[in-house]
Amino acid sequence: MKLELGYIYIKDIQFGETSKVENGIIYVNKDELKSIILEDQNLKSVEFDLAKPGESVRITPVKDVIEPRVKVEGPGGIFPGMLSKVETVGSGKTNVLKGAAVVTTGKIVGFQEGIIDMTGPGAEYTPFSKLNNLVMICEPIDGLKQPEHEKALRFAGYKAAAYLGELAKNITPDETETFETLSVTEGMKAYPELPRVAYVLMLQTQGLLHDTYVYGVDAKRIISTLIYPTEIMDGAIVSGNCVSACDKNTTYHHLNNPVIHDLFEQHGKTLNFVGVIITNENVYLADKERSSNWSSKLAEFLGVDGVIISQEGFGNPDTDLIMNCKKIEAKGIKTVIITDEYAGRDGSSQSLADADVSANAVVTGGNANEVINLPKLDKVIGHINYVDIIAGGFDGSLHEDGSITVELQVITGATNEMGFNKLSAR
């Protein structure tokens, strides 16, 4: 399967009379987009705002971040099984508005969280401070239950991203990059001397606001399976989770999965990147056992020499991570795991909830409990008053002067376990 990504570099985003992309600038007709979003009868209102790199803006609580993409050639459309039909995606051509994103925010009280600062110390920790963001503030109709509210908000994000992506359909990209995965047998013939490597992508699947979807299926209900890496670049996997925002994969992370990109970079040179095994992180022990049995079995089935395993979340999923690692190592396949740490605010406590000697190659995204002071910023998009009660916040987090003292945990993507960032700990 072969996919060409066409990057259109975006340097600014503005509201305008006609929605279009021109000279690296996205223009958005608010009313037109609003009418599309409000087709969902569960949404009462939607407002749009812009947040650009360097601006004194804080966005909170962030639900999802989504990169606008559009299929230019090849079967299917972006977000198959969600927005588009369940056609298999991942081949042909896809255009990407690189440097832009849709950020959804809205109050699902007691659950909703995540902070993106566009400037200051907080901006260093989130990759989304470097993007030109279209922020959506959606309010549900009165009395809407939380699961339906969450779904409405999630879909509003996909729709807005697809709307922006569509603007790039006929634009010639500034740069293109091609990714190809051969069949197992072709790959072996092409690179007989290279070690064969797969990627085990763990998906958070613990319930409301802890869910992930694959081709429209709630990943709680999948058995570990195989997927081409390029399918993921076309939005086959989307995020429905944001609680403890630092180590949750937004849809943007899935579309730009860094493990996939860095394995492709070495593909055919130092290793043979065979494909991706996706597995879930359910709360029941039987599910954990089954899913890790299957992921290790699939790794064996593919005949790989090594895997990289990326986790999503912490605590309970640490057991899934260690089961995957232990069982795959037991089959004689070498592993590297990517995780993050909860070592306490002073860094002196045990970092993971589970451990095993076979997990001897670990990459860490840093200690999520480390405390950071974020100064007051001129503008807040969303609702700042939730800072005290979100995970990583505590009584007294929000100070009178508008500054906040919080654990890194609250910053969207700060300790990402796909290895998206440079943050680490020792």
Could you list the active site residues?
A: 242
Residue span binding other proteins (CB under 8 A) among the ranges 112-120, 185-193, 218-226, 306-314? 306-314
- The residues that bridge with 9 in the sheet, in sequence order, are 98
Q: Indicate which single residue of 315, 331, 378, 379 sits in contact with other proteins (rule: CB under 8 A).
A: 315
End-to-end CA gap in the chain: 39
Nearest to 60 by CA among 420, 411, 415: 411
Binding mask of the shown chain, residues 169 to 208, with x at each position contacting other proteins by CB under 8 A: --------------------------x-x---------x-
Q: Does 222 bind other proteins (CB under 8 A)?
A: no
What Cα–Cα distance (Å) separates residue 100 from each residue in 12, 66, 212?
8, 9, 22
Q: Indicate which single residue of 62, 246, 271, 299 sits in contact with other proteins (rule: CB under 8 A).
A: 271
Amino acid identity for residue 377 in this structure: L
Binding to other proteins (CB under 8 A) within 99-158 occurs at 124
Burial of 391 (0-12, 13-18, 19+ CB in 10 A): middle
**Angle of CA points 383, 111, 370, to nearest 5°:** 80
Contacting residues for 51 by C-beta, under 8 A, at least 6 apart: 57, 59, 103, 116, 118, 133, 135, 381
Cβ closer to other proteins: 81 or 99? 99
Residues 140-167 as b or e (16 or more Cβ within 10 Å = b):
beeebeeeebbbbbbbbbbbbbbbbbbb
Q: Indicate which single residue of 22, 346, 378, 385 sits in contact with other proteins (rule: CB under 8 A).
A: 346
Q: Does 1 bind other proteins (CB under 8 A)?
A: no
The minimum distance between CB 325 and other proteins, in angstroms, equals 10
Give yes or no for a contact between 386 and 106, defined as CB atoms under 8 angstroms apart: no
Q: Indicate which single residue of 24, 53, 92, 306 sits in contact with other proteins (rule: CB under 8 A).
A: 306
Binding mask of the shown chain, residues 365 to 384, with x at each position contacting other proteins by CB under 8 A: xxx--x--------------
- Chain contacts with other proteins (rule: CB under 8 A): 124, 195, 197, 207, 258-259, 261-263, 265-266, 270-271, 305-308, 310, 315, 334-336, 338-339, 341-344, 346-352, 355-357, 359-367, 370, 391, 408, 416-426
